[in-house]
Structure 1
């Protein structure tokens, strides 16, 4: 069994002991003593109860559920020692305050620098007698100040009697300064008036004409201009292999859409003529053999070429210049006319992979059967 001290705070006093006592009894505890005290914070309740230790939590839960209690604390009960209530208003003792000290006025006697006349002394004695009635100490101070003799001051002549006299210094004669004659200022020459200079305005240079870029026009491919090709073929055959000036003339004489197709036809006519002139009795060959035996030797008469892995590279093509105007169609037609009759398959497929006119270092053609 344990004994607990319950301290609680409530708003009202009526029926408080009955309501809290029911919660205590319902929790298995018995009431030993109680006390109610009115405080500025509310009603202070103190109870001492006794019951089993295992039911302490049940008691605290019942007190917490009681609506009459605003708050509560439980402590182990100690007999003989009164525990202060946790919710009681606190009072603090203040030490007594000492009264403010009364200011004391001190009188300082000032000695006179010269002898006081008799009339002043009589007046001072009379004033001291009047003050004696009010403050005897002040009267004594006044009388003492009048009675004390003033210190004597030595005459000035006696102070300087023993001082040696210095010989007088003759006054220094100031040298005369000759007056400086200032001549009249020289007349200033008048500046000639500036001559008027007339500037002929120059016309502003005309603004440079804006350069208008040619709009891109898509070229519609056309068929070859056979008449133009027939006119240039005799010149190609007669001037072979110096034929590129004739090809440039052909490019400029046909319509833009017919330029590439006309070059292709001119290349086919030139390649066929070279085959009939130099390689007609040859037997059928594979593509690789035809390129090594006939194609590369014939092309080297026109340009610097190299054939590797099915690709023909034409370096520094005389036909293809920078500007996006490729003329590789002539070499494609040239190979078709030269190697077409020699291949066992009877057909040659060639298409461009790159061109010098588009910024490449060489014109590259892919060749297959």
Structure 2
């Protein structure tokens, strides 16, 4: 067993301890001394927890990537070496590694997405208008992976571990329906009216945010192995619908 102290700065206090406490418990830890205080950067949450050392990396990952977390620090108590410290605005996600040029903008967007969920797509379109075209596709996809991971942890993390096909049907489809009208046909996710098409921001495939959401939703459980999420057809390129495919990688 190991005792760890986390310090997390967030924008708001309401419901924050409940959300963070749920993460702590789900990782097999006990919450010892939760404290909140107002700081110049927002709300400072200090969590002292105790639990199995083997789960520390998973717990740190989930706390540091919470959509409301603006900064994150951790230290092992009792004179042991410090636990890895992570800045929530800089930590890369495997599906799309953030460049410093846009990572901070994405992290600043996440609390707004959490606050206005599920009506987030107009916010993302507005965000895309502020991003340099050089980084637009990567930034949009990265924002999607972060929101998708948050959606999984919020609504689906307590479910059974499913294979890829069932995960698409029982997790990705209902989660994406909360954002936009879509359907599943022959294992392909079809989005009928993506707001990222025809707005003049993209010259090729345009639904990078939706692709990222699907990657975040399916990667977050961590048991599906390697697979590709691709936008096989896009209205921005003249297709009738935007179609996403899911292919296992050997």
Q: Aligned partners of 1:322 and 1:244: how far apart in 2?
A: 13
Provide the residue aligned with 1:348 in structure 2.
227
Provide the residue aligned with 1:308 in structure 2.
185
Larger strand share, 1 or 2: 2
Query: SS at 1:357's partner residue?
Result: helix
Q: 1:249 Cα shift?
A: 2.0
Structure with more contact order per residue of length (Cα contacts < 8 Å, sep ≥ 6): 2
Provide the residue aligned with 2:145 in structure 1.
268
Query: SS at 2:178's partner residue?
Result: coil
Q: 1:251 Cα shift?
A: 0.9
Q: Does 1:286 align with 2:146?
A: no
Q: Of the candidates 147, 151, 175, which is equivalent to residue 298 of structure 1?
A: 175
Query: SS at 1:235's partner residue?
Result: helix
Provide the residue aligned with 1:318 in structure 2.
195
Structure 2 counterparts to residues 30-41 of structure 1, below 5 A? none
2:164–2:224 CA contact under 8 A, matched in 1: no
1:348–1:368 CA contact under 8 A, matched in 2: yes
Query: SS at 1:257's partner residue?
Result: coil
Q: Aligned partners of 1:294 and 1:236: how far apart in 2?
A: 19
Per-residue CA deviation, residues 117-159 of structure 1 (Å, 9 max, x unaligned), is: xxxxxxxxxxxxxxxxxxxxxxxxxxxxxxxxxxxxxxxxxxx
Which runs of no fewer than 5 residues in structure 2 stay unpaired?
1-97
Provide the residue aligned with 1:236 in structure 2.
113
In structure 2, do the counterparts of structure 1 residues 322 and 247 end up closer, same or farther at CA, with 3 Å as the change threshold? Answer: closer
Provide the residue aligned with 1:40 in structure 2.
none
Q: Aligned partners of 1:345 and 1:233: how far apart in 2?
A: 25
Per-residue CA deviation, residues 272-326 of structure 1 (Å, 9 max, x unaligned), is: 1111111112232111111111111111111111222232211111222265354
1:311–1:367 CA contact under 8 A, matched in 2: yes
Provide the residue aligned with 1:11 in structure 2.
none
Q: Aligned partners of 1:317 and 1:226: how far apart in 2?
A: 24
1:263–1:327 CA contact under 8 A, matched in 2: no
Provide the residue aligned with 1:330 in structure 2.
209
Normalising by structure 2, report the TM-score.
Answer: 0.55
Instruction: Indicate the RMSD between aligned Cα atoms, in angstroms.
Output: 2.0
In structure 2, do the counterparts of structure 1 residues 364 and 253 end up closer, same or farther at CA, with 3 Å as the change threshold? Answer: same
Query: SS at 1:268's partner residue?
Result: helix
Which runs of no fewer than 5 residues in structure 1 stay unpaired?
1-221
Q: Of the candidates 239, 248, 252, which is equivalent to residue 129 of structure 2?
A: 252
Q: Aligned partners of 1:228 and 1:325: how far apart in 2?
A: 23
